[in-house]
A and B are shown apart, each in its own frame.
Chain A
Amino acid sequence: MISQLLNTLYVQTQSAYVHLDHDTLVVEVDKTVRLQVPLHHLGGLAVFGNVLISPFLIHRFAEDGRSIVWFDQNGRFRARLVGPVSGNVLLRRAQHEAYEDPDRRAFLARRFVTGKIRNARHVLLRAMRDYPDVGSRVEAAARELENCLKEANRATDLEEIRGVEGRAAAVYFSVLDCLILNKDAAIRFEVRTKHPPRDPVNSLLSFAYTLLAHDCASACEGVGLDPQVGYLHALRPGRPALALDLMEEFRAFLADRLVLTILNRRQISEKDFIERPGGAVLLTDQARRTFLEAYQRRKQEEITHPLLRQQVPVGLLPHIQARLLARYLRQDAAEYAPFVAR
């Protein structure tokens, strides 16, 4: 389903019941119909916490290749709908063969990392252009990323590539705070924390990365790739290594920029976070809703894909890149080129 970017419906009203009525999806709360959406407007469904979905709706979504993702009430991933094993066993074999081949594996890891660094650097350059007073630290970081990029391009060893990636991430996050123009004391970024995030900016970043990771996993599955067999990320049971690989080139472009925009526009502020004893910071339902709406809107925006030279919705970029990756793995394309923002 690469051709059309459709909406994802997010349901977080507790005890809601979602079911199928002919070709429409119906959301009921307390036996009252709250929402009715024709299926042809929907690419996927994401539900949070205690939301019931009728079996027939699940069957239909599986059949149509639409996604369903279950989250708990705090937005943590629980499960995802997977239909019959899709597509091409030859592609999956090629995916494993590339993993076994140190050169091809390093090549792909290098491309994911260089894509990530280029896009991170792009965010910094953009900020420097749009807000000339973001400071010389940002400029220095952008230069440092340029060096990382050169190193990453030269690196042939997987550990070396991962090392450069780690360093580039540290450089980038060290100046992220300069890009937050909202001067609220609570909305500051010092260092990336996760599992759990320990400040509002980190909790927003984590939520954005969660959404992005699932979009990338869906993109992999949509083209018949196994989301767990990745190249940059080590294989570990339960880890969607390929989805995480693919996500690298989109982190800054899709997730970080959106988080910054939302904070700078004050669409989400201090009151939208809950601090738990011990220091974990959670998003309120309202904050999550605001972010999801913005994410959804962002995915609908169109940009020109640099290689395809064609207008595509931002939300389809992971699908396009997954398709290009599949083409490379099947030796239909000579190389894989990550998405790079302009």
Chain B
Amino acid sequence: MEELVPISALQHYVYCPRQCALIHVEQVWEENLYTLRGQRLHQTVDVPDSALRDGLRVERALPLWSEKLGIVGRADVVEFLPDGTPYPVDYKTGPRRARRADEVQLCAQALCLEEMLGRAVPSGALYHHASRRRREVRFTAELRAEVEKVVAEVRELLGNDRLPAPAADSRCRDCSLVEACMPHALRGLPAWLEREWK
């Protein structure tokens, strides 16, 4: 049987393959990622709950899976429009910035919902906590194809259990795993040893 890929890993992978491997292979920083930023925010959305708000049925912390893609996860929030169409909303702590990684993650949730409920899920939204604004994402054919490609790549990464080399680029500045990753130290290690450790 193929390993199930966590939906959150897709987002990590698109941002940085090494970040993905650090979290899902090395298992080093999951707790830190959340303790640092998301924990407070997710406390409000992480409790399984079902409620009616403004005439919409709202499900929180809804388990998601797709047997076709072999992915599994949990939606922060799924709203059900009056006609019954599911509308996933993912909560982000960062600023309101379009990130492909977030879109891929949200679209993967939509693909799960389509398979679970047998209904088309044409769009969803990213909620940016910093600005308290929503940004709608349309699940285009192109985005759906990208999800499938990313799932396959992540499955391979998790299967071979080696860490990809550090990025050591501008992504590292915003990355909460930079201390576990040591991108610059590891890049500089051979030269440093040559110089200092004769």
- Interface of A with B (CB < 8 Å)? 1-3, 64-65, 86-88, 90-91, 223-224, 306-309, 323-324, 327, 330-335, 337, 340
Contact with A along B99-112 (1 / 0, CB 8 A): 00000000000000
- Nearest chain-B residue to A331 (Cβ)? B162
Residues of A within 8 A of B36 (CB): 3
Given A2-B179, A3-B36, A323-B180, CB of A90 within 8 Å of CB of B186: no
Please report the C-alpha to C-alpha distance between residue A212 and residue B188 in the assembled complex, in whole angstroms: 28
A-B interface pairs (CB < 8 A), number: 62
> Does chain A have a CB within 8 A of B52?
no
Q: 5 smallest A-B Cβ distances: which pairs?
A: A88-B27, A332-B163, A87-B27, A308-B185, A2-B179
Chain B, range 5-26, C-beta contacts under 8 Å to A: 25-26
> Does chain A have a CB within 8 A of B130?
no
Please report the C-alpha to C-alpha distance between residue A320 and residue B187 in the assembled complex, in whole angstroms: 16
- B182 and A337 contact, CB distance less than 8 A: no
- B32 and A3 contact, CB distance less than 8 A: yes
Chain B, range 116-170, C-beta contacts under 8 Å to A: 161-163
- B192 and A307 contact, CB distance less than 8 A: yes
- A88 and B25 contact, CB distance less than 8 A: yes
Please report the C-alpha to C-alpha distance between residue A287 and residue B177 in the assembled complex, in whole angstroms: 40
* Additional pairs, 5, CB under 8 Å, beyond known A307-B188, A332-B162: A2-B180, A64-B35, A87-B28, A334-B190, A337-B196
Majority secondary structure, B binding face: helix
Residues of B within 8 A of A87 (CB): 26-28
Please report the C-alpha to C-alpha distance between residue A65 and residue B186 in the assembled complex, in whole angstroms: 26
- Nearest chain-A residue to B178 (Cβ)? A3
Residues of A within 8 A of B27 (CB): 86-88, 224
- A323 and B182 contact, CB distance less than 8 A: yes
- Nearest chain-B residue to A91 (Cβ)? B26
Residues of A within 8 A of B197 (CB): 337
Please report the C-alpha to C-alpha distance between residue A59 and residue B57 in the assembled complex, in whole angstroms: 36
Cβ-defined partner of A337 (8 Å) among B35, B161, B180, B189: B189
Given A307-B189, A333-B189, A335-B193, CB of A324 within 8 Å of CB of B182: yes
> Does chain A have a CB within 8 A of B54?
no
Please report the C-alpha to C-alpha distance between residue A323 and residue B189 in the assembled complex, in whole angstroms: 14
- The listed residue with most A CB atoms (<10 A of its CB), out of B161, B188, B189, B190, is B189
Chain A nearest CB from B92 CB (Å) reads 21
Please report the C-alpha to C-alpha distance between residue A337 and residue B193 in the assembled complex, in whole angstroms: 7
Residues of A within 8 A of B25 (CB): 88, 90
- A337 and B162 contact, CB distance less than 8 A: no
Residues of B within 8 A of A86 (CB): 27
- The listed residue with most B CB atoms (<10 A of its CB), out of A3, A309, A333, A337, is A3
Please report the C-alpha to C-alpha distance between residue A180 and residue B67 in the assembled complex, in whole angstroms: 71
- A332 and B186 contact, CB distance less than 8 A: yes
- B189 and A334 contact, CB distance less than 8 A: yes
Please report the C-alpha to C-alpha distance between residue A340 and residue B192 in the assembled complex, in whole angstroms: 12
- B26 and A330 contact, CB distance less than 8 A: yes
Please report the C-alpha to C-alpha distance between residue A334 and residue B186 in the assembled complex, in whole angstroms: 9
> Does chain A have a CB within 8 A of B2?
no
Residues of B within 8 A of A337 (CB): 189, 192-193, 196-197
Chain A nearest CB from B19 CB (Å) reads 14
- A327 and B182 contact, CB distance less than 8 A: yes
Please report the C-alpha to C-alpha distance between residue A309 and residue B195 in the assembled complex, in whole angstroms: 14
A-B contact pairs, 10 of them (CB 8 A): A2-B179, A2-B180, A86-B27, A307-B185, A307-B192, A308-B182, A309-B184, A327-B186, A330-B26, A333-B186
- B189 and A1 contact, CB distance less than 8 A: no
Residues of A within 8 A of B193 (CB): 335, 337
Residues of B within 8 A of A309 (CB): 184-185, 188
> Does chain A have a CB within 8 A of B31?
yes
- B189 and A330 contact, CB distance less than 8 A: no
- B182 and A340 contact, CB distance less than 8 A: no
Chain B nearest CB from A94 CB (Å) reads 10
Please report the C-alpha to C-alpha distance between residue A335 and residue B36 in the assembled complex, in whole angstroms: 30
- The listed residue with most A CB atoms (<10 A of its CB), out of B36, B179, B190, is B179
Please report the C-alpha to C-alpha distance between residue A8 and residue B55 in the assembled complex, in whole angstroms: 51
Cβ-defined partner of A330 (8 Å) among B31, B32, B163, B184: B163
- A88 and B196 contact, CB distance less than 8 A: no
- B189 and A3 contact, CB distance less than 8 A: no
- Nearest chain-A residue to B26 (Cβ)? A88
Please report the C-alpha to C-alpha distance between residue A72 and residue B193 in the assembled complex, in whole angstroms: 43
Residues of B within 8 A of A330 (CB): 26, 163
Cβ-defined partner of B28 (8 Å) among A223, A306, A334: A223
Please report the C-alpha to C-alpha distance between residue A256 and residue B183 in the assembled complex, in whole angstroms: 32
Please report the C-alpha to C-alpha distance between residue A224 and residue B196 in the assembled complex, in whole angstroms: 28
Chain A nearest CB from B166 CB (Å) reads 9
- A3 and B186 contact, CB distance less than 8 A: no
Residues of A within 8 A of B179 (CB): 2-3, 323
Chain A nearest CB from B136 CB (Å) reads 34
- The listed residue with most B CB atoms (<10 A of its CB), out of A64, A65, A88, A224, is A88
